[in-house]
Structure 1
């Protein structure tokens, strides 16, 4: 079945009550190694006057080559964009839910430093659960929408920008320490492929692994 293009319909509705809409999506929630990344993409009515990049989709529906082309195009289209991070060590200490919120807040702070009025913006969050609000010190206007990364262009853009940033980070980690090459992050990006799981059993976890997630693998 063909996948419909994302639209800006939801963003236009939210802009009726806010000057800026910020689409948010996470990447790396289910990985065994590396950070979790949260992408944010801010648009105003001015950005909606221009078409978003042709071929934009949820990052999971795109090839790596297409993502690498669409990420900079999406960042250029948006008013502003950013990626926030939480490390594997933070995930072990605080849990993935809290770290998703932390990474999102770090990304929103980057938007704020670029002049985006985050506190007055409408937040469009992909998923069925609001994992952002529990981490906030001050409330934001958060709309949670299942499959927003597929249906809403700002969230799709955030997804692509975060995916490319996280994939690049995993490659940089591997390139910076030859001992990490045994885990094959160039192909699996830290996710639990059979080869990655076998390497963890054979070599043990690295400093970049989420050790609290590996009990069943190492049992």
Structure 2
């Protein structure tokens, strides 16, 4: 049996892409992933993720990685498309690209059945999909996908560090990221890698405009 796991990295940050990865394995290989120490990418060090990245690819039957730029996310949200549906669109693309007899998807919604319904409407065929909250903690194949997605996003962020300097994690909760954005606003130069549809960005813009009017 061929089993596929699908997960994302970078859904919440205000800077950088969201990356979605799908990876398939023969069922008997899953125990090898566990032996290697494959688990939810958030629980692993960057070095361990890097180490597992190539091993996961080697053990896989197939993998497919999609990078969704900040600009595409902004364009979708400003046009009225929810991030959840944009994510579902690309997960459906991965399902169509990678053959498997069953797909395990980490649900971005607290109601996984609602997300599964969105996926089924996009795929328009009878496919066996298991969609659960925190699937990356429950199923090693989804953990493997989370590692592929996280390493790819980290690599993209490293490129941005070279371009703009260090700005922290890119998450709204990171003070270094917020200070970086404030500095950009003061210079009037906001790069395309910043998600301008995020509430955090809108608040920063409003605060900056109020200060300049005083």
Structures share fold, TM-score greater than 0.5? yes
Tell me, yes or no, if structure 1 residue 165 matches structure 2 residue 157. Answer: no
Q: Deviations over 1:130-151 (max 9, x none)?
A: 2660672424332112221112
- Equivalenced residue count is 187
Cα RMSD (Å) of the superposition? 2.3
Task: Give structure 1 stretches of 5+ with no counterpart.
Answer: 1-18
Note closer, same or farther for the CA distance 1:218–1:135 as it changes in structure 2 (3 Å cut): farther
Residues 58 and 156, structure 1, Cα contact 8 Å, conserved in 2? yes
Q: Which has the higher contact order (CA 8 A, sep 6+)?
A: 2
Distance 1:135 1:86 in 2: 21
Distance 2:134 2:142 in 1: 9
Residues 30 and 140, structure 2, Cα contact 8 Å, conserved in 1? no
Correspondence list, 1:170-209, <5 A: 170-175=157-162, 177=163, 180-181=164-165, 184-185=166-167, 187-188=168-169, 190-192=170-172, 193-204=174-185, 205-209=190-194
Q: Which TM-score applies when normalising by structure 1?
A: 0.76
Point out the structure with max Rg over C-alpha: 2
Tell me, yes or no, if structure 1 residue 138 matches structure 2 residue 124. Answer: yes
Post-superposition offset of 1:98: 2.6
Which has the larger helix fraction?
A: 2
Note closer, same or farther for the CA distance 1:164–1:45 as it changes in structure 2 (3 Å cut): same
Q: Which TM-score applies when normalising by structure 2?
A: 0.77
Tell me, yes or no, if structure 1 residue 55 matches structure 2 residue 42. Answer: no
SS of the aligned residue for 2:5 comes to strand
